[in-house]
Structure 1
Amino acid sequence: MDCRESEVAMPPTGTPASPAKASAAPAPARHTFRSVAPVLALCWLAVFFDGMDVSVYGAVMPHMLDDPSLGLAPGAAGTIGSWTTFGMLLGALGTGTLTDWLGRRPVLVASIVLFSAASAVCALAGSPALFGAGRFLAGLGLGGLMPICLSLVMEFAPPRRTALATGLLMTSFHVGGMVATGLGLALAPGLGWRSVFWAGALPAVIAAPLLLRLLPESPGVLLAKGRSAEADAVADRYGMARPAPADAPPPGAKGRLDGIRALFRPGVRAATPLLWLASFCGLLLVYGVSTWLPQMMRATGYGLTSSVSFLLIINAGGIVGMFVAGRTADRFGPVTVSALWFLLTAAGALLLGSRLPLGLTYVVVALTGIWLFSAQTMVYAAADRLYPPAGRATGLGWVTGIGRTGAVAGPWLGGTLAAAGNDQLGFTAFALAGLLGAVAIGLVAVTGRGRRD
């Protein structure tokens, strides 16, 4: 039996309750998507701005390369993309410790303020070095945002609907990518690429106040801080089972080390590095394609406007893919869906490396978007199945953090190939990453059973 079923069936406090206490407790709301919609909506907004910031660089890169005042070469452009994702690696790995000290909500808000300020630095930059420093700072903020939002949504989501909830959350990443591309198409030709980065400073004004006012803290984190009454109140408000001590993240430095050791306990010790490898491949694809797709398509022979519009189309496909993958994974399991999606991504990347008619190219780009982005998202959903509630934030933090090395490698790989005049080889490299990701996540089903039991 899935252990989440037993968790839901437990008494609200995790211990037998007396009749008097049971009658005094307020009747919780029914645990449905509607009851947790406010949390999902607020996290959706945060990840929307994440996707917008990640995609904005790829959307304006052709204009930046054509700007003689900046002096940005293709090789340096790829390196700067890797600085961003290296910052995201550090941000993701440091998030768990910070949330133990401060809570998830304040760290999430701080992450948004940081990458918004960094976008303003990029808009003001007069050299590749200063621009790269701004992107590195943005990466620190972006790296902390995703694990927090994923952990919150998975914690608040109804049992057996975490894959769908994760997919719904990640649609925002691609809506943000589409908006960034639209801003690049609308603003960069007339107002310059800097205007698009000024738009990237808006999240601090829009999202941060809303999250501070409306986003609830994690019941598990509240319980770990000794605020059990507040934890129970939040759980009751959103129709969740009240957190038990076993659901709370371990406190203190020793507890955090125990949380990391738990990633290698019997039953998951082989699956954990496979999840890391799958996440590496998935994020290499996500950030490599988001950064270099317009330039690679331009090298294949398409015009500048068409090349940038492909980024819009692939993100639109990503939105559809999140709905499809989430519903399918709740039925067949995220491991199976992720492996199949990785294989289809590899096939799509190989097709894009050939010069197809424009209409057919748009279709292939859209289909590749359906598979590419949700393949990685289902890796996150697989981590939720693999690790228990107390280790979920740690497990997700390390899956996303180690995976960020792929996010570093993707833009760097595209830039290296572009600098050597081999832009089109990027499609072959991305296809190989898709194949390796399929093998890694497929083996999770064998070594870790792909779900908790």
Structure 2
Amino acid sequence: MSASPPSPADRAAPGRTHSFRSVAAVLGLSWLAVFFDGMDVNIYGAVMPHMLDDPGLGLTPGSAGSIGSWTTFGMLIGALVAGNVTDWLGRRATLITSIVLFSAGSALCALAGGVALFGAGRFLSGLGLGGLMPICLAVVLEFAPPRRAALATGVLMTSYHAGGMAATGLGLAIAPEHGWRPVFWAGVLPAVVAVPLLLRWFPESPGVLLARGRRAEAEAIADRYGMERPRPAQAPPGGARGRWEAVLALFRPGARWATPLLWAASFCGLLLVYGVSTWLPQMMRASGWGLTSSVSFLMVINAGGIVGMLIAGRTADRFGAVRVSAVWFLLTACGALLMGAHLSLWVTYAVVFVTGIWLFSAQTMVYAATHTVYGPAERAAGLGWVTGVGRTGAVAGPWLGGVLLAQGAEGWGFTMFALAGVVGAAMIALVPLAGRSGRSGPAAAAEGADAEAATAS
């Protein structure tokens, strides 16, 4: 037995009170959580040149790439687990656990005296980081007005790049004089700052509460945030059998071909995101730029990422997340090739900034596109698997970058990014066609039109 496809009633706009204003607290707390996610992910790339220069740690370009892959392998496991246990334990508890895990991992990295212990800390951080993103995305998509799902996703993901800029700023301000360890100590802040706020203010998912039989609480939260009251069809299935059925539902008619295409697009997008976050400073340094300029490029590309999220969200609400993601992937490919060219400093800064506009939001619009493929009961599992399987790209990006730098072929890294952009564009562009091919008849045509309208309106 599998969940039914999203119906027009499931996607219908709820009451007129359902607006960004009514869910500002949820979006704000999710924004803070993802901010710390972006800070933790980018800390490694921001201080890597200093770590490579630290003889006591014993880090080499090859081992640095492997550790980057351990981090993202932990993310893969965390995302796959969180996408299913969140419907069992609840969104709130799983999110808080994720934050505690990656804060503890950052503390372990700060204390590490060698590569092995440092790698263990990054793996632990990865477990928490992998769980955080799909939970926040699922919560924001649940609480946001349906007609502004892509915009809400874009606003949320600006926080990732704000966190990346904060990590780069910490690396520039602290690491040259005090070393790289204090920067990792800053990664403990999420447990101190975010966890108390989430415990006090973050609401549980009405759908999860309804699945647990807590209808009164579910309806009270829905009313408080101006949402449509959840119906049984929107609640994630409960129990171990229900979680297995939620996974099987990702391959129902209308999604069975779209699901692997979303996975492939996410693979390419996350290869770009984590390959760039890990290796851009070192690749630019190997290309002849100074240490300060090389690290500054990471801040510039994240600044472009913030602008890109706001542009992509508004554009996707008008033209559809699939179209925007495909175009953004292609523009990223062009930008990656230009970053590898030997241009003047300020022209290179401009190219890196513009590339950031496209690169990060191309992946985010893959997440937003799941809104047209999966119904409310499937969405947490769908997002968990799209982010989780995509994490194999996040594993491949840092590892491959390390291999290329170790062999002195850093110039090929930009070509690798460009190729990932082209393949990602092809995969996401095929999602609507795959969805239609999985259905047949007039009902299928009506459903496909409705799904497109839900994203483009």
Aligned twin of 1:374 = 361
The answer to whether the Cα contact below 8 Å between 1:181 and 1:312 also exists between their aligned partners in 2 is yes
Aligned: 1:142 with 2:129: yes
Q: Residue 264 of structure 1 is aligned with which of 239, 242, 251?
A: 251
Q: CA deviation at 1:315?
A: 0.1
- The more displaced of 256-265 and 345-354 is 256-265
Q: 1:304 to 1:244 in 2, by over 3 A?
A: same
Letter in 2 for 1:413: L
| Unaligned 5+ runs, structure 1 | 13-27
Q: What are the superposed Cα offsets for residues 54-97 of structure 1, whole Å, 9 maximum, x if unpaired? A: 00000000000000110100000000000000000000000133
Aligned: 1:109 with 2:96: yes
The answer to whether the Cα contact below 8 Å between 1:8 and 1:241 also exists between their aligned partners in 2 is no
Counterpart-to-counterpart distance in 2, 1:7 and 1:426: 44
Runs of 4+ in 1 over 6 A off after TM superposition: none
The answer to whether the Cα contact below 8 Å between 1:7 and 1:241 also exists between their aligned partners in 2 is no
Q: What are the superposed Cα offsets for residues 384-421 of structure 1, whole Å, 9 maximum, x if unpaired? A: 11100110001000000000000000000100001111
Aligned twin of 1:18 = none
Aligned twin of 2:51 = 64
Counterpart-to-counterpart distance in 2, 1:283 and 1:258: 27
The answer to whether the Cα contact below 8 Å between 2:266 and 2:390 also exists between their aligned partners in 1 is yes
Q: What are the superposed Cα offsets for residues 105-132 of structure 1, whole Å, 9 maximum, x if unpaired? A: 0110011011001101000000001000
Q: What are the superposed Cα offsets for residues 330-352 of structure 1, whole Å, 9 maximum, x if unpaired? A: 00000000000000000000011
The equivalences for 1:25-36 within 5 A come to 30-36=17-23
Aligned twin of 1:198 = 185
Q: What are the superposed Cα offsets for residues 302-350 of structure 1, whole Å, 9 maximum, x if unpaired? A: 1000000000000000000000000000000000000000000000000
The answer to whether the Cα contact below 8 Å between 1:80 and 1:132 also exists between their aligned partners in 2 is yes
What is the DSSP-based 3-state SS (H/G/I as helix, E as strand, rest coil) of the residue aligned with 2:21? coil
Q: CA deviation at 1:8?
A: 6.3
The answer to whether the Cα contact below 8 Å between 2:10 and 2:376 also exists between their aligned partners in 1 is no
Q: Residue 6 of structure 1 is aligned with which of 9, 28, 36?
A: 9
TM-score, with normalisation over the residues of structure 2? Answer: 0.93
The answer to whether the Cα contact below 8 Å between 2:109 and 2:117 also exists between their aligned partners in 1 is yes
Q: CA deviation at 1:452?
A: 3.1
Aligned twin of 2:323 = 336
Letter in 2 for 1:452: A
Q: CA deviation at 1:276?
A: 0.1
Aligned: 1:133 with 2:132: no
Counterpart-to-counterpart distance in 1, 2:316 and 2:156: 15
Aligned: 1:44 with 2:31: yes
Aligned twin of 1:308 = 295
The answer to whether the Cα contact below 8 Å between 2:74 and 2:125 also exists between their aligned partners in 1 is yes
Letter in 2 for 1:218: S
Q: CA deviation at 1:101?
A: 2.5
Aligned twin of 2:451 = 452
What is the DSSP-based 3-state SS (H/G/I as helix, E as strand, rest coil) of the residue aligned with 1:389? coil
Counterpart-to-counterpart distance in 2, 1:254 and 1:206: 37
Aligned: 1:357 with 2:356: no
Q: CA deviation at 1:257?
A: 1.4
The answer to whether the Cα contact below 8 Å between 1:33 and 1:157 also exists between their aligned partners in 2 is yes
Aligned: 1:394 with 2:381: yes
Letter in 2 for 1:51: G
TM-score, with normalisation over the residues of structure 1? Answer: 0.94
The answer to whether the Cα contact below 8 Å between 1:5 and 1:159 also exists between their aligned partners in 2 is no
Q: CA deviation at 1:136?
A: 0.1
Q: Residue 383 of structure 1 is aligned with which of 370, 378, 387?
A: 370
Aligned twin of 1:21 = none
Q: What are the superposed Cα offsets for residues 17-64 of structure 1, whole Å, 9 maximum, x if unpaired? A: xxxxxxxxxxx7700000000000000000000000000000000000
What is the DSSP-based 3-state SS (H/G/I as helix, E as strand, rest coil) of the residue aligned with 1:161? helix
The equivalences for 1:151-300 within 5 A come to 151-300=138-287
The equivalences for 1:68-107 within 5 A come to 68-107=55-94
Q: What are the superposed Cα offsets for residues 154-192 of structure 1, whole Å, 9 maximum, x if unpaired? A: 000001100000000000000000000000000000111
Q: CA deviation at 1:3?
A: 5.8
Counterpart-to-counterpart distance in 2, 1:179 and 1:206: 15
Q: CA deviation at 1:5?
A: 5.4
Q: CA deviation at 1:4?
A: 6.9
What is the DSSP-based 3-state SS (H/G/I as helix, E as strand, rest coil) of the residue aligned with 1:217? coil
Q: 1:341 to 1:9 in 2, by over 3 A?
A: closer
Counterpart-to-counterpart distance in 2, 1:277 and 1:420: 28
Letter in 1 for 2:112: A
Q: 1:212 to 1:268 in 2, by over 3 A?
A: same
What is the DSSP-based 3-state SS (H/G/I as helix, E as strand, rest coil) of the residue aligned with 2:423? helix
The equivalences for 1:428-443 within 5 A come to 428-443=415-430
Letter in 2 for 1:32: S
The answer to whether the Cα contact below 8 Å between 1:388 and 1:452 also exists between their aligned partners in 2 is no
Pairwise CA RMSD of aligned residues? 1.5
Q: CA deviation at 1:266?
A: 1.0
Q: 1:171 to 1:200 in 2, by over 3 A?
A: same
Aligned: 1:425 with 2:428: no
The answer to whether the Cα contact below 8 Å between 1:178 and 1:311 also exists between their aligned partners in 2 is yes
Counterpart-to-counterpart distance in 1, 2:424 and 2:281: 23
What is the DSSP-based 3-state SS (H/G/I as helix, E as strand, rest coil) of the residue aligned with 1:69? coil
Letter in 1 for 2:301: I
Letter in 1 for 2:10: E
Counterpart-to-counterpart distance in 1, 2:318 and 2:336: 27
The answer to whether the Cα contact below 8 Å between 1:84 and 1:139 also exists between their aligned partners in 2 is yes
The answer to whether the Cα contact below 8 Å between 1:341 and 1:371 also exists between their aligned partners in 2 is yes
